[in-house]
């Protein structure tokens, strides 16, 4: 927690803390359920919901009768909210965050925090100037596995760390890209969106790998290579990899697809010369394999990020995911934004599964795993459709 964050909270909030949720449908339903959980414990009170179409009574089951409005600023004024949870389209994040900050309202801002590094800095600087705190919604960074693995690395359990890989083999059907006007777009009406596999659905893989390397701030990143491809008929990428070089000399390769043959749990892999650690970050599950020891499986607890923000405001708990601690992730977003548009895979590289209405890239599951295992990019692994000239450095 930075000194400026510490100084910003001059008087603690008292429970239940009033909350406004902006964006209560789609992924916002998860936040609605989480607020219901915390409200049942007496920690928060849902004071308002900002949606273009008000929620019906059945959608608010167990949440009382919060005020509803499509005007975010007016809703914050009317409810006296202390926290705003923002789960709206990516291009709206910065303006909504600043609308809240100007009113002294603290923030839980969904990932990715912004579609460009410039918008990220505008948001982070504005929040800091307003004297409010902001938690960025990378839920995996609330896992106890992150400090647990960092401790194992520091103690030398793996010997010298050679690098960190991450793999995400997920599936999304064609309806996923029709769910909203901005879905699968790099830009919409001249505004950056950057809704790609590494920047949105599997953004946690990138952020978690950077956190395990201890390279979370913008200045920790020295170089980024990208390979952005797509099987679907979209602007953005659905099958991509990125390699980040950090100031400490670390190498981080993240490979991901939304066109998996057999979708599986994403994971981060720490490579050492005396062993390795696999972290399935959605499950808070860790496997430690090292020479001279049998395999060790560990399951960690997770701190909910909204609960952590409430704890920060009520009794000074350390905030887990500040904007500054996502600066390195935003450097990756910026490299993807500045890279050439994703290359369409040739028709013989993928097939449509009719029953599931989704496109599958042949052999991509093994390729994603190999990239995490070797820290190589797709083109270096010999994928016929990933050409070296698709790699760009930033």
8-state DSSP, 170? -
Token pair recorded at residue 301: 């607890």
Question: What is the value of pTM for the model shown?
Answer: 0.95
Q: Is the pLDDT of residue 4 over 80?
A: no
What is the predicted pLDDT for the residue at 2? 38
CA 11 – CA 315 distance, rounded (Å) = 10
The residue that leads in pLDDT, 126 or 291, is: 126
Task: Tell me the C-alpha distance between 173 and 109, whole Å.
Answer: 27
Which residues are 271's β-sheet partners? 163, 276
What is the structure's pLDDT at 12? 87
Contacts for 236 with CB less than 8 Å, ≥ 6 apart = 184, 185, 186, 193, 194, 195, 196, 197, 230, 342
Domains and CATH numbers, the chain: 3-136 (3.40.50.720), 143-299+343-385 (3.30.360.10)
- Taking alpha carbons only, the member of 227, 205, 244 closest to residue 331 is 244
Cα–Cα distance, 114 to 117 (Å, whole number): 7
pLDDT digits (tens, 9 = 90+) for 230-282: 999 999 999 999 999 999 999 999 999 999 999 999 999 999 999 999 999 99
Over residues 109-135, the mean pLDDT reads 98
Q: Does residue 8 have a pLDDT over 50?
A: no
């Amino acid at each position: 927690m930075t000194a400026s964050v510490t100084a910003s909270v001059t008087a603690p909030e008292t429970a239940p803390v009033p909350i406004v949720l902006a964006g209560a449908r789609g992924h916002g339903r998860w936040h609605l359920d989480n607020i219901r959980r915390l409200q049942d414990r007496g920690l928060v009170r849902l004071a308002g919901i900002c949606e273009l179409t008000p929620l019906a009574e059945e959608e608010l089951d167990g949440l009382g009768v919060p005020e509803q409005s499509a005007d975010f600023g007016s809703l914050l004024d009317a409810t006296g909210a202390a926290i705003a949870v923002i789960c709206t389209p990516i291009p709206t994040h910065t303006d909504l965050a600043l609308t809240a900050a100007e009113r002294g309202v603290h923030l839980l801002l969904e990932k990715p925090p912004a579609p460009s590094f410039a918008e990220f800095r505008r948001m982070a600087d504005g929040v800091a100037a307003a004297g409010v705190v902001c938690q960025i919604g990378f839920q995996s960074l609330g896992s106890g596995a992150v400090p647990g693995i960092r401790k194992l690395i520091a103690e030398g359990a793996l010997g010298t760390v050679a690098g960190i890989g991450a793999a995400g083999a997920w599936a999304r059907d064609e309806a996923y890209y029709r769910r909203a006007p901005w879905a699968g777009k790099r830009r919409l009406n001249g505004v950056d969106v950057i809704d790609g596999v590494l920047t949105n659905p599997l953004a946690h893989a990138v952020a978690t790998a950077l956190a395990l390397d201890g390279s979370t701030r913008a200045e920790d990143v020295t170089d980024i290579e990208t390979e952005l491809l797509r099987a679907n008929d979209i602007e953005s990428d659905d099958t991509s990899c990125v390699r980040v070089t950090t100031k400490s000399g670390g190498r981080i390769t993240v490979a991901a697809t939304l066109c998996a043959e057999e979708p599986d749990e994403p994971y981060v892999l720490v490579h050492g010369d005396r062993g390795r650690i696999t972290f399935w970050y959605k499950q808070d599950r860790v496997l430690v394999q090292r020479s001279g020891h049998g395999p060790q499986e560990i399951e960690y607890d997770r701190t909910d990020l909204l609960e952590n923000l409430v704890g920060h405001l009520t009794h000074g708990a350390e905030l887990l995911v500040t904007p500054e601690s996502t600066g390195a992730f935003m450097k990756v977003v910026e490299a993807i934004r500045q890279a050439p548009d994703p290359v369409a895979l040739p028709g013989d590289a993928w097939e449509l599964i009719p029953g599931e209405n989704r496109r599958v890239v042949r052999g991509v599951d093994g390729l994603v795993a190999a990239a995490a295992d070797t820290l190589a990019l797709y083109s270096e692994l010999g994928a016929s459709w990933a050409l070296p000239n698709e790699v760009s450095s930033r």
